[in-house]
Amino acid sequence: MQTGITLRLFWSAIITTILLQATPLVGAAESKPGWEAEWKRTLESAKKEGTVVVTGSPDPVMRNEIVPKFTARFGIPVQYIAGGASQIVARLSTERNAKLYSTDIFMAGMNTVANILYPNKMLDPLKPILILPEVVEPSKWRKGKLWFQDPEERYVLRVFSSIASLFHINRDHVKPGELRASKDLLNPKWRGKISAEDPILGGGGANKAARFYVQLGEEFVRKLYKEQKLVFSRERRQMADWVARGTYPICLDCRDDDLKSLQQEGFNFFEFFELTDMPGTLTSAPWLLTLLNQAPHPNAARVFANWIVSKEALEIYSRAFGYATLRTDADESFLKSETIPRPEVKYFDDADWQWAVTGRAETRKRVENILKAP
């Protein structure tokens, strides 16, 4: 009798041990087909929807590389609607007032996202629709997770964090060693030799001036923008030509894409990213990813959202624009080393949520008051 009980207990323990050891294996075996089956269903439904509608800034990389590659890979056409942020928002608002919903994905800048899309509840949570392992795996991201920047951490996904350009010079007229610290920009030698976008008109010029104000103070902004007699322009191409010809050999708001063709013609530029007393500034450019609510093609939008933040797609953007991504597995060999954030440095983050919502506007106003003062 005792022997029978002992044997039953022995075999019961063996069976229990086997089941306990098998359970994790069963769970692991089920998790993979789980996302794969869901992804397969999503793809099938997406193809039936026929297209995905994406909007954002004028973007040759999107049109020439991203759209063809996405469509070839998934068989889903992309309708890309490009325009300025204010233009896109006005169109979307008009449509929504008429209960029309034409667009799925908005690849927007922080100002648009934080001050218009999010507070006006124009977004659906993006986080739940991301399921590809290479997207949701924490080890793939420098933050140890997907970085959602909105207060709820669900709607606004940031996938770029790169050190922004500070200013450009023409090396035939200005030696890089002549501009090591912020005070060097105030040298009387450069009075009337610096171009910029007018900060009072908003845009990149206003952002640059606000950045100087926060990092270097009110007195520096006054001396630079007023006493140095900066020359303002609304035309990016004009400023690029000025710095190339040496007319105004220091350009605060020139952009690499405007200077590339000129550089190929032999003009000698140098790009500053920081000064000895001014650490670099982080940018989330070229875009933050959002999913518009009432999306007319929800499954196609899901496929696009998962792929656009994959290693393949982000490397296309990184190579084209020179911005560093937040992926740990992205190739960065083609990037300028100055654009890649160093972990030991405390940078000013131009895409910080609170800065975008309140800080930038308040600082711009202070700068405007300085420039308008007699």
pLDDT, tens only, 227-268: 999 999 989 899 999 999 999 999 999 998 889 889 999 999
Please list, in sequence order, all residues whose beta carbon lies within 8 angstroms of the beta carbon of residue 271, skipping any fewer than 6 positions away. 165, 166, 167, 168, 256, 336, 338
As given in the structure block, the two tokens for residue 152 are 């709820």
Look at phi and psi of residue 86 and say left if phi exceeds 0, alpha if psi is from -120 to 50, else beta. Answer: alpha
Query: What domains are defined for the chain?
Result: 50-159+285-334 (3.40.190.10), 165-279+360-372 (3.40.190.10)
What is the C-alpha separation between 180 and 43, in angstroms, rounded?
53
Is-contact 55 80, C-beta < 8 A? yes
* Residue 147 pLDDT > 70: yes
Give 365's Cβ-side CA count (13 Å radius).
Answer: 5
Percent of the chain with pLDDT over 90: 87
Directed axis angle between helix 67-74 and helix 311-321, to 10°? 160
| Structure confidence at residue 257 (pLDDT) | 82
Is-contact 351 149, C-beta < 8 A? yes
Element containing residue 54 per DSSP (H, E)? strand 52-56
What is the C-alpha separation between 74 and 43, in angstroms, rounded?
8
Element containing residue 124 per DSSP (H, E)? strand 123-124
* Residue 72 pLDDT > 80: yes
- pLDDT per position as a tens digit, 177-228: 999 999 999 999 999 999 999 999 888 899 999 999 999 999 999 999 999 9
| Structure confidence at residue 142 (pLDDT) | 96
Q: What is the DSSP letter of 269?
A: E
Element containing residue 56 per DSSP (H, E)? strand 52-56
As given in the structure block, the two tokens for residue 271 are 């790009």
Please list, in sequence order, all residues whose beta carbon lies within 8 angstroms of the beta carbon of residue 328, skipping any fewer than 6 positions away. 139, 140, 141, 142
Residue among 252, 205, 141 nearest 371 (CA): 205
pTM of the prediction? 0.86
Residue among 51, 54, 53, 55 nearest 76 (CA): 51
Region 282-310 average pLDDT: 98
- Residue 362, classified by CB atoms within 10 Å of its CB into exposed (0-12), middle (13-18) or buried (19+), is exposed
Sign of the alpha-carbon dihedral angle for 261, 262, 265, 268: negative
| Structure confidence at residue 256 (pLDDT) | 86
CA-CA-CA-CA torsion for 67, 73, 77, 79, nearest 10 degrees?
-20
Query: Residue holding tokens 């032999």?
Result: 266
